[in-house]
Structure 1
Amino acid sequence: MSTNSPDTVAQRNWFTRFLDVVEWLGNLLPHPVTLFAALAVAMVFVSGLFGWLGVGVTDPRPGADGATIEAVSLLNAEGLRMIFGNLVSNFVNFAPLGVVLVAMLGVGVAEKSGLLSALVRGIVLNAPRHLVTVALVFAGVLSNTASEMGYVVLVPLGGAIFLALGRHPLAGMAAAFAGVSGGYSANLLLGTIDPLLAGITTEAAQLIDPDYEVFATANWFFMIGSTFMITAVGSLVTIFIVEPKLGAYDDSRADPHVLDDSKMTPLKSEERRGLLMAALAMLGVIGLILVLVLPETGVLRDPAAAGEGFLASSTPFFRSIVAWIFVFFLATGIAYGRTVGTIRNDRDVIDGMASAIATLGLYIVLVFFAAQFVAFFGWTNLGLITAITGADFLQAIGLTGPLVFFFFIIMCGIVNLSLGSASAQWAVTAPIFVPMLMIIGYSPEVIQGAYRIGDSTTNIITPMMSYFGLILAWATRYDKNFGIGTLIATMLPYSIFYFICWTVFFFIWVFGLGLPVGPGSPTYYQAP
């Protein structure tokens, strides 16, 4: 039986038409860079209007003594001086910029050396046949440590693996895609997205508490637990829903070359030695961290907080976590590359770093305009006014308990359908929802954890996701009639079950068991 064609999918009921409407609406949005530029300009005019109207709210924060927070206009001489005088500082001081650049320097070396590709192939190809699906989803989750690598390596590899095993290749691609993108915020390791989101959350939290800092490890515990849940759900959906729906594979629609072009290359002996050396380098880095953190007098311990417990006294380590991400990938990448011959000298290391930074050109442009918008939003007090007004509304309708996160996750998932970039979406929503939910008592770390669920679960069904077109291109190699509607219909079961199971998992983890979402991450916010 052949795969479902776009024509067959198109004849389905209202749901396909709904997806067409979502795609059409998403295509109406401008590029994220244009969107942030427009928002920044709009903020100037909106602040002028609200300042002229004298919009303000009573400050509910402790010590405010009933003071009024008024909208500040940027549409005047003083406001324009602030805008032009701080254009550069807004950009260079934007918290996510530096941490992402530093982390990517190390990741770039690991990617250039071939370590990341070999690690993924080693996990998937060495798994027992009946556990291949589990290994594929699990490897997809781990691959998002280096974001793009999963999309460009693992997803096509999933199709080749399933084809070689006599299973439907599109099911293999779907399983890998579900792990890489649907499980984007689950992982055993910290990746480049963690310091990026933490930086944006810090900027938003400081609208309420100027001294509040969110670390890259903010959601680490919850991410580790989510990894196994996402792997289990993705594997079950593949086996019991997606594969039966696709049926037996009909290769008559495939590109003839793809049937002979297997990407499932077994690890060579030198690659195995490289992985062993990378593992030894990893143990060396971990050992160094333990020496610097575990002793009471450790360099990365805070002497002033010696009697307040390990987490409190380890604040210097958590502040330096981005540097350790850099060191981790740099050390393991060099160890692997030197063994297999992909890194022969310092120039190769530098080339790896440079190539990683080169891929961030669009991100840097995006950050420039996002930083201006976030700064303008803070200067005008519109973020605080919106947050306090929203918090008052939630309190008025009695929606201040944990149930508020259910609606928050849904909202994030819906927004993600049209704004597929995790950082772009969070830069827009965090200045509103982080302060709002902080005011009613929840910590920025928990708020960020809930956001990541909504952001991840709809990645795999929105054409606005930056790699959606790439996945579609790979799929058409196995079925030339495979279209956007078919891809969305194939991935929709993952999205639905991820949303349900991950949301339930969040409520059990945070409010049922009372577990912290990360080291030193409180569930509730208490104003100083």
Structure 2
Amino acid sequence: MEQSQKNGFVMRALNGIERVGNKLPHPVTLFFIFAAIVVVLSAVFSAIGVSVEDPVNEGETIAVKNLLNAEGILYLFESAVTNFTDFAPLGTVLVTMLGIGIAERSGLISAALRGLVTSVPRTLMTAALVFGGVMSSMAADAGYVVLTPLGAVLFAGLGRHPLAGLAAAFAGVSGGYSANLLLTSLDPLLGGMTQDAAAIISPDYAEGINYAMNFYFMFASVFLLTILGTWVTDKIVEPRLGTYKGSVNEDVNYLRPQEKKGLWGALIAFLLTLIGIALLVIPSWGPLRAGEANIIDAPFLNTLVPVILIVFFIPGLVYGLLTKEIKNDKDVADQLSETMATMGSYIVLAFAAAQFVSYFNESNLGTVLAVRGAAFIDATGFTGVPLILTFVVVSGFINLFIGSASAKWAIMAPVFVPMMMLSGYSPEFTQLVYRIADSTTNVISPLMPYFAIVIAFAQKYDKKVGIGTLVSTMLPYSIVFSLGWVVMMLIWMWIGLPIGPGTPIEYP
């Protein structure tokens, strides 16, 4: 009876989250609504004379600027195009996706994931699935579409419960979305918004932010999440599921000889590409070193977007040529066009988000809110670890209702980045905390775009699987990932390690 009540409460809570989330407007509409609210609030707060002391220039004040007077309305019309074209994440994401798109559409990423998880010993199968899932964030769709069903097939073939394999892959793909051994399109996507938000307090500091700001920490996180995901699968999830008594039998989609040939060619191309980039960066005469004594101070870190493009494009092209997925330049152009076609919704979202962010900055509401918020935090003494943990909880809670990582950060960054800067934490660190909270709650968010697809995969093995079943299965991953990742972050802070190249935790 008690267990039934608990299950009923969980289902009611999940249904409530789903109902509220489904009633929210589309993210594009949401940003236009927020932009309109900012315009109205700018007029109200300007009329009553709201202002704060300038946190940078001592003795000066910053007042809210009215966007509904003649000068403000002129700004709204004159800036509409430049707000969009100057929106930092727009160009960076589109450029990186050109390279990643070739690697994905030529079949390289899919083949690499299948090759990884089908070639490891039986004892390492769980770890391989989780690791492959984490690494699949190089191309967002590949992990969900390829690895999640493959995990179920592989576990079934080994006589293990297929839903445990599905859960392990899903945990890596979604719960470890922010971690990777390489820079992915997520880094410039979130990094551009962080730069814009940091400019509210210090434009000079914002200019020095590089897109690899979280790389060291996220690199190490891959191994932590692989260990944690393996432990949760083997010690909690699979024992709870018990012995699989279904009759679904499937053949594993092993790599064909042509695909293996393509992977070897892509690996050689990848290594040669890295050597070529190293020659541009490491020697003092390297164009991307520009004679700087320290690589961190070199222009290289400001050129990461085209570097990511090249690192993915060349191996993807070689793989496509060797497997005959790419036969000529027309095929390359077609695959690039198909990639850009899938970015249409992102471009529309970027236009709406750019207007909101620009209005927020131009009206000075961002600065005023940051200064007032930081003063309130200081007055309550709610700083340090409690402040960071609260931010994790808030970000994770919002993720249950808004699935898009970029949409959430576009809303949250202009508020929390300046506030955390005035509380002594760097914009780069604030972004890192957000990425932890966003990733670890993905696997229990019914509104996450691929949640329904994963349920469909699971129902192939158990027709009774629904939202409650999947959430209860994934909840241990979410809890353990959150605790483990936060503890790792706190230890990182305590030691004082940089979280990325030239990236501090504290804001001076």
What is the CA–CA distance in structure 2 between the aligned matches of 1:260 and 1:345, rounded to whole Å? 39
What amino acid does structure 1 have at the position aligned with 2:104? E
Q: Is residue 320 of structure 2 the alignment partner of residue 337 of structure 1?
A: yes
Give the paired residue count: 504
Question: 1:10 deviation in Å?
Answer: 7.9
What is the CA–CA distance in structure 1 between the aligned matches of 2:446 and 2:34, rounded to whole Å? 23
Question: 1:430 deviation in Å?
Answer: 0.5
**Contact 1:111 1:352 (8 Å CA) reproduced:** no
For 1:79, the equivalent position in structure 2 comes to 72
Which of 283, 288, 295 aligns to 1:310? It is 295
- Structure-1-length-normalised TM-score: 0.93
What amino acid does structure 2 have at the position aligned with 1:217? A
What is the CA–CA distance in structure 2 between the aligned matches of 1:148 and 1:72, rounded to whole Å? 42
Matches within 5 A, 1:299-378: 299-303=287-291, 306-307=292-293, 309-312=294-297, 314=298, 316-378=299-361
Measured against aligned partners, the alpha-carbon deviations of 1:459-506 in whole angstroms (never above 9, x if no partner) come to: 111111111111112222222221111111111111111111100011
User: Identity across aligned pairs (percent)?
Assistant: 50
Question: 1:520 deviation in Å?
Answer: 1.2
Question: 1:387 deviation in Å?
Answer: 0.6
Q: Could you say what secondary structure the match of 1:245 adopts? A: helix
What is the CA–CA distance in structure 1 between the aligned matches of 2:119 and 2:78, rounded to whole Å? 57
Question: 1:9 deviation in Å?
Answer: 7.3
Which of 220, 226, 234 aligns to 2:229? It is 234
Which of 493, 497, 503 aligns to 1:515? It is 497
Which of 241, 250, 255 aligns to 1:267? It is 255
Q: Could you say what secondary structure the match of 1:418 adopts? A: coil
Question: 1:310 deviation in Å?
Answer: 2.8
Q: Is residue 419 of structure 2 the alignment partner of residue 419 of structure 1?
A: no
Which of 334, 357, 372 aligns to 1:389? It is 372
What is the CA–CA distance in structure 2 between the aligned matches of 1:428 and 1:302, rounded to whole Å? 37
Q: Could you say what secondary structure the match of 2:62 adopts? A: strand
Q: Is residue 90 of structure 2 the alignment partner of residue 97 of structure 1?
A: yes
Q: Is residue 475 of structure 2 the alignment partner of residue 480 of structure 1?
A: no
For 2:51, the equivalent position in structure 1 comes to 56
Q: Could you say what secondary structure the match of 1:414 adopts? A: helix
Measured against aligned partners, the alpha-carbon deviations of 1:42-81 in whole angstroms (never above 9, x if no partner) come to: 11111111111111111222xx232221111111221111
What amino acid does structure 2 have at the position aligned with 1:32? P
Question: 1:15 deviation in Å?
Answer: 3.4
For 2:173, the equivalent position in structure 1 comes to 180
Which of 158, 161, 164 aligns to 2:157? It is 164
What is the CA–CA distance in structure 2 between the aligned matches of 1:325 and 1:70, rounded to whole Å? 41
**Contact 2:151 2:168 (8 Å CA) reproduced:** yes
Q: Is residue 127 of structure 2 the alignment partner of residue 144 of structure 1?
A: no
What amino acid does structure 2 have at the position aligned with 1:265? N
What amino acid does structure 2 have at the position aligned with 1:141? V
Q: Is residue 453 of structure 2 the alignment partner of residue 470 of structure 1?
A: yes
Measured against aligned partners, the alpha-carbon deviations of 1:137-191 in whole angstroms (never above 9, x if no partner) come to: 0000000011111111111111111111111111111111100010011110111
What amino acid does structure 2 have at the position aligned with 1:351? D
**Contact 2:14 2:446 (8 Å CA) reproduced:** no
**Contact 2:156 2:249 (8 Å CA) reproduced:** no
**Contact 2:281 2:295 (8 Å CA) reproduced:** no
Q: Could you say what secondary structure the match of 1:250 adopts? A: coil
**Contact 1:10 1:485 (8 Å CA) reproduced:** no
Measured against aligned partners, the alpha-carbon deviations of 1:404-443 in whole angstroms (never above 9, x if no partner) come to: 2111111111111111111100000100111111112211
CA gap of 1:385–1:11, structure 2 versus 1, over 3 A, is: closer
Measured against aligned partners, the alpha-carbon deviations of 1:188-221 in whole angstroms (never above 9, x if no partner) come to: 0111111100000000001111122322211110
Question: 1:86 deviation in Å?
Answer: 1.1
What is the CA–CA distance in structure 2 between the aligned matches of 1:41 and 1:311, rounded to whole Å? 41
Question: 1:320 deviation in Å?
Answer: 0.8
Compute the RMSD of aligned alpha carbons.
1.5
Which of 268, 271, 276 aligns to 1:280? It is 268
Q: Could you say what secondary structure the match of 1:320 adopts? A: helix
What amino acid does structure 1 have at the position aligned with 2:223? F
What amino acid does structure 2 have at the position aligned with 1:436? M
What is the CA–CA distance in structure 1 between the aligned matches of 2:399 and 2:223, rounded to whole Å? 24
For 2:244, the equivalent position in structure 1 comes to 249
**Contact 2:157 2:250 (8 Å CA) reproduced:** no
Matches within 5 A, 1:188-199: 188-199=181-192
What is the CA–CA distance in structure 1 between the aligned matches of 2:476 and 2:135, rounded to whole Å? 21
Q: Could you say what secondary structure the match of 2:52 adopts? A: strand
For 1:256, the equivalent position in structure 2 comes to none
**Contact 1:215 1:318 (8 Å CA) reproduced:** yes
What is the CA–CA distance in structure 2 between the aligned matches of 1:15 and 1:488, rounded to whole Å? 9
Larger mean CA deviation between 95-104 and 435-444 belongs to 435-444
What amino acid does structure 1 have at the position aligned with 2:43? G
Q: Could you say what secondary structure the match of 1:69 adopts? A: strand
Measured against aligned partners, the alpha-carbon deviations of 1:358-387 in whole angstroms (never above 9, x if no partner) come to: 111111111110010000100111111111
What is the CA–CA distance in structure 1 between the aligned matches of 2:346 and 2:55, rounded to whole Å? 36
Measured against aligned partners, the alpha-carbon deviations of 1:17-43 in whole angstroms (never above 9, x if no partner) come to: 333322232222111111111111111
What amino acid does structure 2 have at the position aligned with 1:512? W
For 2:128, the equivalent position in structure 1 comes to 135
**Contact 2:55 2:201 (8 Å CA) reproduced:** no
CA gap of 1:274–1:130, structure 2 versus 1, over 3 A, is: same
Contiguous gaps of at least 5 residues in structure 1: 1-7, 253-258
CA gap of 1:492–1:293, structure 2 versus 1, over 3 A, is: same
Matches within 5 A, 1:450-461: 450-461=433-444
What amino acid does structure 1 have at the position aligned with 2:280? L
Question: 1:297 deviation in Å?
Answer: 2.0
Contiguous gaps of at least 5 residues in structure 2: none
What amino acid does structure 2 have at the position aligned with 1:19? L
What is the CA–CA distance in structure 2 between the aligned matches of 1:50 and 1:472, rounded to whole Å? 47
Question: 1:97 deviation in Å?
Answer: 0.6
Q: Could you say what secondary structure the match of 1:251 adopts? A: coil
What is the CA–CA distance in structure 2 between the aligned matches of 1:301 and 1:11, rounded to whole Å? 60
What is the CA–CA distance in structure 1 between the aligned matches of 2:301 and 2:4, rounded to whole Å? 49
**Contact 1:10 1:16 (8 Å CA) reproduced:** no
What amino acid does structure 1 have at the position aligned with 2:369? T
What is the CA–CA distance in structure 1 between the aligned matches of 2:244 and 2:255, rounded to whole Å? 27
